[in-house]
Amino acid sequence: MIRLVWAVLCRDILTDRETNSVSYIHAIEEGAATQLPTRIGPVSLGTLWEMDTQGPEPCIARAVLSVPSGQEIGLLQTGVLTFTNPRHRLHFRLQGLPMTAFGRHEIRLEFSQTTPATDTWQRAATLPFSLRRLLPTPKTQQTQ
């Protein structure tokens, strides 16, 4: 069985080729906009998973955006991944978060170990994201 250890939403993910060390750049938990609709991103979703068994573990992962009205928007879904190491990093690049309302949104990370995944999704993490309204700034008047 696999389990999620942690997940982070950020602007970018950098991996050092020599050491395999990872840097998660500019963690994101909120955004701001003057008008809707808008798109936040692109953004990255970094995750670390752990296996508690020996041998390969198949898995499918997906990310879903839940907006304040309750509507859900699919952001991504992987094909079948096979975990073979005790720990496994998965990094996803999301082309953007479509925002149509101000307020609290959630990015849900789910996984299934049943292939094909049919109503067997397990919630691994819920990442809150708030979009706040920015008031437009009035244009400064120049004195003549």
Number of structural domains (the chain) is 1
Number of residues assigned to the chain: 144
CB 34 within 8 A of CB 135: yes
Which pLDDT value is given to residue 54?
A: 87
Question: 32 falls in which pLDDT band (50, 70, 90)?
Answer: very high
Question: Would 38 be classed as within a structural domain?
Answer: yes
Residue 124 lies in a domain: yes
- Please give the structure tokens belonging to residue 64: 């879903």
What is the rounded distance in angstroms from the CA atom of residue 141 to the CA atom of residue 79? 55
Residue 70 covered by a domain: yes
DSSP 4-67: EEEEEEEEEEEE-TTT--EEEEEE-SEEEESSSSEEE--EEEEEEEEE-SSS-EEEEEEEEEE-
Is pLDDT above 90 for 91?
yes
User: Does 141 fall in a domain?
Assistant: no
Is residue 144 assigned to a domain?
Answer: no
Query: How confident is the model at residue 78, as a pLDDT?
Result: 94
Quick one: which of 90, 89, 92, 86 has its CA closest to 57? 86
- Residue 50 tokens read as 């752990």
CB atoms within 10 A of CB 9: 25
Say which CATH number the domain at 72 has. Answer: 2.60.40.10
**Residue 110 belongs to what domain range?**
2-133
The answer on pLDDT for 142 being more than 60 is: no
Is residue 117 included in any domain, yes or no? Answer: yes
